[in-house]
Structures are given as structure tokens and as C-alpha cells.
Amino acid sequence: MSMRDPLYEEERTVLTGGPEADVSKHVAVIMDGSGRWAKERGMPRFAGHKEGVATVVKVVKAAVDRSVEVLTLYTFSTENWKRPKAEIEFILKLPKEFLGVHLPELMANNVRIEVIGDMGKLPVATRKAIQYAMDRTRHNNGLQLNFALNYGSRQEMLVAMKAVFEDLNQQKLSLDDLDEQQFSKYLYTADTTEPDLLIRTGGEKRLSNFLLWQLAYTEFWFSDVLWPDFTEQNFLDALEAYGQRKRRYGGV
């Protein structure tokens, strides 16, 4: 049957209910393409990461405006330590810079800051800035803004499994009680709903060790737009595309 067939379009409408049928409550974003953005312009990679911060501001605002409940940004992965030292140092200064400038605005918009990942290896100044922002926003009940910092999903699951084994050995947990829901409580995202929508910019179509457990039934939306060029409208387009989909979770 042709994709343009009116009967098909009618069926599609019934299945999805249109773009407003389901609003994504949790959006996860792999912010990719900042280095390539700078290279295309003959600039150092640092410039791309710097420009990417402005995009974070735009996307956070769009998420607040659309009443998204949780926004998780893949900020620095466990694999990113393989990059040149100067680039790593620059990237890890950006959270402090971002929060130093925009924390008052985040407070005004009732945004709560959280982090997923192993903060222990981050520079002291970065940890202090993030902890300060988390403390300042702790009682806010609007958008939960998660920064995935020094985050890797395989590492996360290994840490969780070790904690499970420890609790089993100490008889704090029964093997019969261990199921998917119980295991999820051992992950960094224990107090967060699983993502409804994953957005990846920059043209790549892979997960890059990001939320592998949590993305089991998440809808994916890929964009060729490099992260520094990603706009509020691009974000809204992703939300609209999500609203057109029917999530069956393995059912009919």
C-alpha cells in the first residue's frame, strides 16, 4: 500500500493520535558533533565545545517551555578520557562555567540539577561547582536536568552488579526478589524514570555506551545537525516526531 494512501493515513492517525497524543516526559540527548563543527570552520575543537554550551541553554529552555520532566545530557563519557589532555581539561571546565553564568536562570525556572556518573575522578573545581548547583536547586520541582559526567553504561552496570552481590552476601537482598525493577534501583538513575525519547545529533546512529539498560524501550531520533547548530526548533521537531509514534513495549 502506498504511504500516501488515505486509508493508510487514517490508520496512522488512529495509531498515534497525532503529535499531542503523548508528550515525552524524559528526553535523553547525545550531544555529538561539536568537534566537527569547529573543524569545518577551521577552528580548534575547543571552540565547538564552547559553542555547544549555548545550545545546552537553548535546549533546556525549550524543555522547560514544553513541560518536559527530565532532560539527561551526555556530557562526558568514561571513554572521553582518551582524548587529548588539553581538550579534556577544557571540557571539564565547562560545567562550572555554564552553572556560574546560568544558575540564577535555572533557579528562576525551577530547574533541579542532578548528575549521573562517577564524580570522584572529576577535577575538584568541577565537583564543587556541580555540588553547589545541586544543593542550591535541590528543592526545585520543575525540570530535572541530569548531566551524565564521567558516565559509561557498562561501568554503571558493573558497579550495580557488585552492589547486588554485596547485598546478597550480607542477606540484605534475596535472590528470589531480584528482578528488573529491583536491579534498576542499583543504577545511577534509580530515582529517575527511563527515557521516552533519545536524541542524537551529528549524524551518527549508535548509543556510544549511553544508558544501555534504560533505553530498552526508548524511541530514537537521529539528526544530521551538529550539536552547536541544533536549535530549539530541532528539539521541538524531535518531540513532535515522538508524539507521532505508538509505543507497544513488545505488545500489539
Indicate which residues carry an active-site annotation.
32, 80
Cβ atoms of 150 and 117 within 8 Å: the answer is yes
- Has 191 been labeled as part of a binding site? no
* Residue 227 annotated as lining a ligand binding site: no
To the question of whether residue 45 is assigned a binding role by annotation, the answer is yes
> What residue has cell string 569547529?
38
Q: Is 206 annotated as a binding residue?
A: yes
Q: Was 37 annotated as part of a binding site?
A: yes
C-alpha radius of gyration, the chain, whole number: 20
Nearest to 16 by CA among 238, 245, 236: 245
Rounded Cα–Cα distance for residues 146 and 112 (Å): 8
The answer to whether 28 and 195 have CB atoms below 8 angstroms apart is yes
81 annotated to a ligand binding site: yes
Q: Is 49 annotated as a binding residue?
A: yes
Cβ distance 31 to 56 under 8 Å? yes
112 is in an annotated binding site: no
Residue 26 in marked binding region: no
User: What is d(CA 228, CA 34) in angstroms, rounded to the nearest whole number?
Assistant: 6
Binding residues for substrate: 37, 45, 49, 77-79, 81, 83, 200, 206-208
List residues forming the annotated binding site.
32, 37, 45, 49, 77-79, 81, 83, 200, 206-208, 219
Residue positions forming the annotated binding site for Mg(2+)? 32, 219
